[in-house]
Amino acid sequence: MPALISLLYGLAAVFGAAFAVIELRMLYRFLTNRADIRAGASAYDEKAQGSDRAQEEVTPTVTIQIPLYNERTSAEQIVRAAAAQDYPRDRFDIQVLDDSTDETSEIVASVVQEVLAEGVRIEHIRRGHRTGYKAGALSEGLQRSDARFVALFDADFVPDPGFLRALLVNDRPFDDPTVAFVQARWSWARGFDRLLPSALSLLLDRHFAIQKPTQEFVGNVTTFNGSAGIWRRAAIDDAGGWTADTLTEDLDLSYRCALRGWHGRYVQSVHVPNELPEHMRAFKLQQRRWAKGNAQCFRKLTGRVLGSGSVVRDRLDEAFVLAGYAIHPLLLMSLMLWPWAVLYVDRTLFWVLQALMSLGMIAAVLSFFVTVQERDRRLSWRSVGEVLFGMGVGMGLMVNNTVGQIQGFFQSGGEFLRTPKGTALASSGAEAGAGSRTVEGSPTTTDDPAAGASATGAAAARAAVAPVKRVRPKAYASPLDWTFFAEILVMAYCAFGAALLIQSGEAFWSMPMFMWALCMGLMVQQQMVVPRPAEA
């Protein structure tokens, strides 16, 4: 028994330390090249100046695809935002890929008629089934388009009117013929007055503020994030198109393009506001889908990446990216083994393994603080709270995301469960416009009071695409998932483990069990907060 516990705990410690080393190296690269990485967002400006391309190339044809499934609270805003693009109307068209089974389709049909009357080319595509889910809808839309480029937006995103022009005409990253896609930065349409939403945003801000620009700077694979980006149609076709055998079709296609010699670009200066899941139940649903899709991509692509030769740089790094969500099963494994490791593992070996395990905590703390400093350009006591809550949520997701990982390792595809979001951004009026500024024609959030004039401009842009005054649709319900009860059981196990260690004279080593119990308690408590539907 002690030998088995030592082996299992050792495996968790070694693999956890490996993830930590990858993270620490990424942070080192970011910090030592911060100025150049920041400047990389505008590296194509000089190339854009003095161009003598023909007019039809200066404004290439683009199809805007909007995949929808039961998005009654936000469908109208994204259709109007797409129609409001400051781009020649004969050079872009819109496809609303609507697989909805509720009143979303009626809302879309009405808005499409209004947009058509304004002279915008738009098509409302109804399949009557969900074969392939989002990937299937995107593929069907491509069959109806001959545009050179394809822009993608999920329903809760609101691109600035200058989005297409910024990425296709001004910044012009596609001047490089090997660029498959360009990803804009996700930002948040509303400020966060509560600590928990701030902590949730921190988990994603780390990806967009630190990870993505650093990956691009060092030449690693830049991945598409499913929305707020533009694809070169030729790259999609060359890589085999969208496929539905994973739930993260964006990650899948990104790596298949990389294996064909294409690469992605991340333009950090162009921000597209969107909505966070408005409560923990929805956030967990989103995270489990990503964890499942991540495991499916790992199973599908890791062998090809490792055997790609010089086509993909830092192949080992890319394998860890594809295995990213595996940190959650490792955390859960460590928790379950902890009391027994304290009691039965040789004390010298235990200390060595603890040194390895501590690397993960160090990497997480540094990563979150660097993210806050880069995002806000300052640190405060609130930053400490955000980091603590962010770490608590990250560890509290271990049960939920482990379930997703296990499903992904044994299943291909699966139902694409939508993530319930809040009410429409545009319907928030002054709240949506407050605290935003425009960076090269695109809105983002800021605490800078000097951004007032630009904030007014961003609010005006949203007002231009605001829907006609209508009754605000009710938000979608988000019932408790069965993992809620599994998390309660894990909390009980933490209490049992802590009591066992105290009774065995190991009170000091019981403290991690209390820490894990607090993280799981945070998850449980937040899921018990029943979301209030949005009324008119």
The helices-and-strands tally (H runs, E runs) of the chain is 22, 9
CB-based contact 271:383 (threshold 8 Å): no
Q: Give catalytic residues, as residue numbers.
A: 99, 250
Residue 462 token pair: 């949203």
| Strand 149-152 with 62-68, pairing | parallel
Phi-psi region of 153 (alpha: psi -120 to 50; beta: other; left: phi over 0): beta
Residue 173 CB-density burial (10 A; 0-12 exposed, 13-18 middle, 19+ buried): buried
Q: Report the alpha-carbon distance of residue 130 to residue 448 in Å, rounded.
A: 44
**CB within 8 Å of 284: residues ≥ 6 apart:** 397, 400, 481, 483, 523, 527
User: What are residue 149's DSSP bridge partners?
Assistant: 62, 232
Q: How far apart are the first and last CA of the chain?
A: 61
Other Cβ atoms closer than 10 A to 270: 28
Q: How far is CA 215 from the centre of its chain?
A: 15
